[in-house]
């Protein structure tokens, strides 16, 4: 596939039969290819659902996971972490088992689902910090439960988000990290010293920093400043134009540093759906707005994200001062590196041949996964 690379050079990228990039040949553009951007497949570490397919649905099935994955391919996301949210133990285990079963059924799907993210149930019960998570299911971290999650997921569990102020957190973080699971801080109302203790214990991420927090905070100290200041924590941000204003996102990324920052969609099942009013099992009566917001009908309250990661890239590109190469890194090489996915998010020989061709507005024209074309813009995705 041929197009303009994130660094501005034009290149032809060839894939080998093993699904990896065989060569990257820099060359002068020919004809219309000069207008196309060739970028690594997008890497999203937080996806609750997309296109009507919900990881947290009561009736989650292998078919749902397949349909979700294919819908994300059409949106340029080639690697993602399905994100299971707060629920009782049996429901979380069921979701993990279904996702693991889906991965065993299809090699391309297994390539895309590089891990699972469990967001909760070890979160703050404080209103605002709790977000939309079910208060009745919140509980303290439990290392025995962690072991059951790892087994149920067939070893796919890669991230757990927790509030560091909950009891037993340091021991849980230590066990998780030694088990190969990254710990993210989120949905918390923690004092700064508790955040720094969690980072010292091995926590390495902040989940959608700036969201999942009380609407009113002390000027200082507060959990946002502490997480921005701690260089041991890399931070995810929801850049859909609704969760964070452009000035806030710009300042936060500058404070954290581009290399320690990454974008997530935090997409809900209605992401990718046309504007309109919907009834959902969790949010109830919600509306997808014409500008891509997802709100409780009749209010301005957010009911999740209706954006894909490609939508977040386009919004960040249009509303922040960062160069295209940095914006793309926030959705490709940075999350891949931070999550330990060494063969993703880069267009270099030997890396996975996960490629996305974009037009001048960064709309997805074509998606290639492990050397196989899985989406063309002129063809509807196979769901």
Which residues carry out catalysis?
266
Please give the structure tokens belonging to residue 117.
Answer: 């993210």
Q: Residue 263 in 3-state DSSP?
A: strand
Within 8 A by CB and 6+ apart from 48, the residues are 54, 55, 56, 83, 85, 266, 267, 268, 269, 304
346 DSSP 8-state letter:
-
Q: Which of 304, 365, 364, 360 is nearest to 331 (CA)?
A: 364
Could you give the CA distance from residue 64 to residue 50 in angstroms, rounded to a whole number? 10
43 phi and psi, to 5 degrees? -120, 115
Please give the structure tokens belonging to residue 124.
Answer: 């703050």
Which H helix or E strand runs over 326? Answer: helix 324-331
125 phi and psi, to 5 degrees? -85, -5
């Amino acid at each position: 596939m041929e197009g303009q690379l994130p660094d501005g050079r034009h290149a032809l990228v060839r894939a080998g039969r093993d699904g990896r990039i065989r060569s990257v040949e820099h060359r002068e553009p020919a004809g219309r290819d000069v207008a196309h951007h060739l970028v690594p497949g997008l890497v999203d570490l937080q996806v609750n659902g997309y296109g009507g397919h919900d990881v947290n649905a009561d009736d989650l099935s292998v078919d749902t996971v397949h349909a979700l994955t294919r819908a994300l391919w059409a949106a340029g996301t080639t690697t993602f972490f399905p994100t299971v949210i707060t629920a009782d133990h049996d429901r979380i285990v069921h979701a993990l088992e279904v996702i693991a079963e889906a991965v065993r059924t299809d090699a391309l799907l297994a390539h895309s689902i590089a891990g699972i993210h469990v967001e909760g149930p070890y979160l703050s019960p404080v209103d605002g910090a709790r977000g939309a998570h079910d208060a009745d299911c919140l509980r303290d971290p439990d290392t025995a439960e962690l072991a059951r999650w790892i087994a149920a997921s067939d070893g796919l569990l890669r991230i757990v988000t927790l509030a560091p102020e909950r009891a037993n957190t340091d021991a849980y973080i230590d066990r998780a990290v030694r088990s190969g699971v990254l710990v993210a801080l989120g949905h918390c109302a923690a004092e700064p010293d508790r955040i720094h203790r969690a980072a010292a214990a091995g926590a390495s991420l902040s989940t959608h920093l700036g969201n999942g927090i009380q609407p009113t905070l002390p000027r200082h100290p507060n959990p946002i400043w502490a997480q921005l200041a701690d260089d041991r924590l890399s931070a995810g941000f929801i850049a859909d134009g609704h969760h964070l204003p452009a000035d806030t996102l710009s300042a936060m990324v500058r404070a954290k540093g581009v290399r320690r920052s990454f974008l997530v969609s935090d997409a809900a099942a209605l992401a990718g759906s046309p504007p309109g009013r919907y009834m959902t099992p969790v949010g109830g009566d919600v509306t997808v707005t014409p500008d891509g917001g997802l709100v409780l009908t009749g209010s301005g309250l957010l009911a999740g994200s209706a954006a894909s990661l490609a939508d977040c890239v386009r919004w960040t590109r249009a509303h922040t001062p960062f160069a295209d190469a940095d914006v793309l890194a926030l959705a490709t090489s940075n999350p891949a590196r931070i999550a330990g996915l060494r063969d993703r998010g880069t267009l270099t020989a030997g890396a996975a041949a996960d490629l996305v061709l974009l037009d001048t507005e960064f709309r997805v024209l074509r998606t290639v996964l492990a050397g196989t074309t899985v989406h063309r813009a002129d063809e509807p995705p196979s769901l």
